[in-house]
């Protein structure tokens, strides 16, 4: 009987390795073919002011504050999630603020330029994100939205769970 257990132990190990390879290949396929469709190349609409002013968290270290909401969202393929952002300046700040998104899902990572806001501040923008129908369920996307002006930087984390 001991002879029969060795081949099934080896066979079980081989099946486990094949399953892991299939999972990794599936994650790579999803990251390469589906995730880039979620994220636009330019999303700042300087004329959009449909969101109320967000509560600014002004830091003494930076001449402006940045806020984006929702910080986390859940949706199905085909749903639209509307993100709202706002840059608020401390007195005297008149510089442009560049907005970018560093997104990741599993091993996929990419940075997107979302545009530049110009004074006067506060400056609000909205971005409706429609989750493509081709995105499978159970995908979690994470991102860091960064607002930069010169050496001043503000960051906000965001996440989107596709269910």
Q: Which two tokens stand for residue 75?
A: 């949706």
Whole-number percent of the chain with pLDDT over 90: 33
When the pLDDT of each residue in the chain is averaged and rounded to a whole number, the result is 74
As a whole-number percent, the residues of the chain with pLDDT over 70 amount to 63
Provide the pLDDT confidence category of residue 30 given band limits of 50, 70 and 90: low
**Domains, the chain, ordered by start:** 34-162 (2.60.40.10)
Model confidence at 13: pLDDT above 60: no
pLDDT in tens, 79-120: 988 888 999 998 889 999 999 888 888 777 888 788 899 999
């Amino acid at each position: 009987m001991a002879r029969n257990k060795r081949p099934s132990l080896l066979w079980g190990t081989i099946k486990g390795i094949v399953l892991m390879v299939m999972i990794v290949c599936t994650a790579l396929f999803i990251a390469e073919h589906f995730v880039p469709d979620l994220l636009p190349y330019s999303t700042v609409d300087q004329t959009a002011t449909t969101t109320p002013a967000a509560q600014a968290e002004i830091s003494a270290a930076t001449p402006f504050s940045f806020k984006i909401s929702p910080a986390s969202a859940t949706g199905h393929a085909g749903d639209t999630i509307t993100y709202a952002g706002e840059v608020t300046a401390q007195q005297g700040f008149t510089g442009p603020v560049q907005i970018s998104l560093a997104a990741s899902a599993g091993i996929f990572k990419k940075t997107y330029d979302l545009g530049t806001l110009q004074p006067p501040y506060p400056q609000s923008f909205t971005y409706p994100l429609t989750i493509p129908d081709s995105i499978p369920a159970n995908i979690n996307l994470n991102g860091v939205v960064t607002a930069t002006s010169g050496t001043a930087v503000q960051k906000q984390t965001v996440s989107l769970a596709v269910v």
